[in-house]
Structure 1
Amino acid sequence: MMLVDAATNAHNRKVAIAVAAVIAIAGCLLAILSPWWLVLLPIAGGAFYFMRRKTRRRFAVIAQPFPGVWEATLESQVEYFRKLSPDQQERFRNLVKVFLDEVVITGIRTNVDEATRTLVAASAVIPILGFDDFEYSGLGEVLIYPGSFDDQYQTNSSADARTLGMVGVSHLSGVMILSKPSLVSGFANMSDKRNVGIHEFAHLVDKEDGDVDGVPPTADAETYEPWVRWVGDELRREVGNGEHIDDYAYTNEAEYFAVLSEYFFEAPAVLEKKNPKLYELMKKMYHQNPKRILGSPTRRRRRVGRNSPCPCGSGEKFKRCCKRKSMRGTPLAAK
């Protein structure tokens, strides 16, 4: 998600004006031959509007203050955010603003509060924080389910309801589904190598080149061959008990990349110790070094007392406001 500052906004405006002017002038000159060419004048206006629409909206969204409940959620539940430098935290906040402005988050038989929306956005931002202008193109909505679901997207107590998240295909193209308890529990323990939100957004990073094949478009020529060779060898070998990578990774190439992405962002020091070369490949594909972030000295966590004024500015006590909204759900055992 490209962030827009004053310079970017001004450059976009100049380009839009130039393009619209060329179209309008061409229409006026060609109108000498036939008045029908005057149709280019409204087309020029349309071109200006189309070229300015996203940039202008993002510029306005980023200029808005960051809501207190979002800040409280990031501070209390997202360790990755807390460990970032102040500059990177500001970038993180701006990406959250843009994401939540452009992607609809809908609860299906469950309540979706601002804390839940913030965790969805954090799941989206963490994998792309190292990219300058990555776009989750095609994603329009995230559905939040009250629990795990089956192949028919139904939530019930049957043994088939084991899916915790998925990127929609076919008629659900452009939609992601996440189990709310699993989304929350993924951030409750940042060392268990499991985070369903990061997992599903890793699939979207992978999908950006058109195929969910376990090879993200961010893999350059130097990284592509050793990565493909490594994954191929991993999926061909016999997997036994005691693997440091979750068994679900060995389903196929796409799941291997998504599961390893959870591992990379949740327990980077462990991954690097177990396999330094694999960690280096992930660093190159994500343009990030989570070990440097999570392994740095812990920045003192801002503590808000239960009876203190809520940092969101509501005037309520923290225990009656954002603390209640940010209550953690119950983890699910199924993968």
Structure 2
Amino acid sequence: MLYIVIFIGLFAFVGYVFYKMYSKKTEQFPVHWHDILLKEVKFYRRLEPKEQKRFQNRMMQFLGEVYIDSVDFEIEELDEILIASSAVIPVFSFEEWHYPTVSGIILYPDSFNEDFEFSDKSKSKQIAGVVGTGRLEKKMILSRKALYHGFKNSNDKRNTAIHEFVHLIDKMDDKIDGIPEILMQNAYTIPWLKLVHDEMEAINDDKSDIRAYGGTNQAEFLAVASEYFFENPRLMKRKHPELYQMMAECFRVKI
């Protein structure tokens, strides 16, 4: 009898926790964020007013589903705005979207090493963003400096936060392999892989303006190409028309 009581109590507690998690109220979009978005986020600026409203709602939905924490500084409004924008931009054309592969974002003031330390930059590889694994499963760690830079300069075709959210999209089929099944129909897979391998070969032969990191593997190519697509679509369309068309079909958007 005691075991039954304990089981019922535990079941009730777990149910309560899940209720609190999934009944978190989505807050209203702060009106003054509109002007900040117009200033800071080019993707938002290009949208029609009706679509801007939908972008706002998607931002607040995302912020209602994850927590954002920081290391050695206080979170500010712009941090939340840019993180939420980075989450929404790649999936804006998908009517219903949630990120089951992330529950929290941890923001560091600057780049960090593989041990998530940022005090000494002289002795180890520096990282601007990463999707966590193991004890950091369902966490994303971002450099605040890189987050801001991604929205300040589109000419360099880099946006660290969008890069990491594309990894999360890729991970939704349980594999970060550069073939995001949720974005691609089966018919796209073979031509996509051929295109990826051709583009990676060009990168590694120093015959492409796509960032060298995209030549590392298929997963990094997808994330790097997505940065390029959302940051400077006109240039991609001119220099890589086939890749641009494939990205536009996957993300269901023409920019």
> Do both proteins adopt the same fold according to a TM-score greater than 0.5, normalized to the shorter chain?
yes
Other-structure match for 1:185: 149
Name which of structure 1's ranges 68-77 and 264-273 shifts more when overlaid on structure 2.
Answer: 68-77
Residues 137, 73 of structure 1: CA spacing in aligned structure 2 closer, same or farther, 3 A cutoff? same
Q: Aligned-pair distance for 1:284?
A: 1.1
Other-structure match for 2:173: 209
Q: Distance in 2 between matches of 1:53 and 1:87?
A: 30
- Scaled by the length of structure 2, the TM-score of the pair is 0.87
Other-structure match for 1:276: 241
Q: Aligned-pair distance for 1:114?
A: 1.2
* Counterpart among 75, 79, 88 of residue 38 in structure 2: 75
Name which of structure 1's ranges 166-175 and 134-143 shifts more when overlaid on structure 2.
Answer: 134-143
Q: Does 1:200 align with 2:138?
A: no
Query: Matches of residues 291-310 of structure 1 in structure 2 within 5 Å?
Result: none
Q: Does 1:229 align with 2:194?
A: yes
Gaps of 5+ in 1: 1-42, 291-335
Gaps of 5+ in 2: 1-10
Q: Aligned-pair distance for 1:159?
A: 4.0
Name which of structure 1's ranges 281-290 and 248-257 shifts more when overlaid on structure 2.
Answer: 281-290
Q: Does 1:160 align with 2:124?
A: yes
Q: Does 1:172 align with 2:136?
A: yes
Letter in 1 for 2:132: G
Q: Distance in 2 between matches of 1:159 and 1:188?
A: 28
Deviation string 1:158-193 (CA, Å, 9 cap, x unpaired) is 242411000001111000011001100110112320
Q: Aligned-pair distance for 1:275?
A: 1.8
* 1:259 alignment partner, SS class: helix
8 Å contact from structure 1 (residues 79, 190) kept in 2: no
* 2:173 alignment partner, SS class: coil
Q: Does 1:98 align with 2:61?
A: yes
* 2:127 alignment partner, SS class: coil
Residues 222, 145 of structure 1: CA spacing in aligned structure 2 closer, same or farther, 3 A cutoff? same
8 Å contact from structure 1 (residues 154, 161) kept in 2: no
Other-structure match for 2:4: none
Letter in 1 for 2:171: K
Other-structure match for 2:83: 120
Deviation string 1:1-59 (CA, Å, 9 cap, x unpaired) is xxxxxxxxxxxxxxxxxxxxxxxxxxxxxxxxxxxxxxxxxx9xx99xx79984x65xx
Q: Does 1:136 align with 2:126?
A: no
Other-structure match for 2:252: 287
* 2:176 alignment partner, SS class: coil
Kindly name which structure, 1 or 2, has the bigger radius of gyration based on alpha carbons. Answer: 1
Q: Distance in 2 between matches of 1:289 and 1:51?
A: 39
Q: Distance in 2 between matches of 1:199 and 1:154?
A: 21
Q: Distance in 1 between matches of 2:20 and 2:141?
A: 31
- Scaled by the length of structure 1, the TM-score of the pair is 0.67
Other-structure match for 2:114: 151
Q: Does 1:245 align with 2:223?
A: no
8 Å contact from structure 2 (residues 66, 102) kept in 1: yes
Name which of structure 1's ranges 74-83 and 225-234 shifts more when overlaid on structure 2.
Answer: 225-234
Count the aligned residue pairs: 244
Q: Does 1:107 align with 2:70?
A: yes
8 Å contact from structure 1 (residues 231, 256) kept in 2: yes
Q: Aligned-pair distance for 1:139?
A: 0.8
* Counterpart among 74, 85, 92 of residue 48 in structure 2: 85
8 Å contact from structure 1 (residues 69, 115) kept in 2: no
Q: Distance in 2 between matches of 1:93 and 1:86?
A: 10
Residues 175, 230 of structure 1: CA spacing in aligned structure 2 closer, same or farther, 3 A cutoff? same
8 Å contact from structure 2 (residues 203, 210) kept in 1: no
Q: Aligned-pair distance for 1:222?
A: 2.5
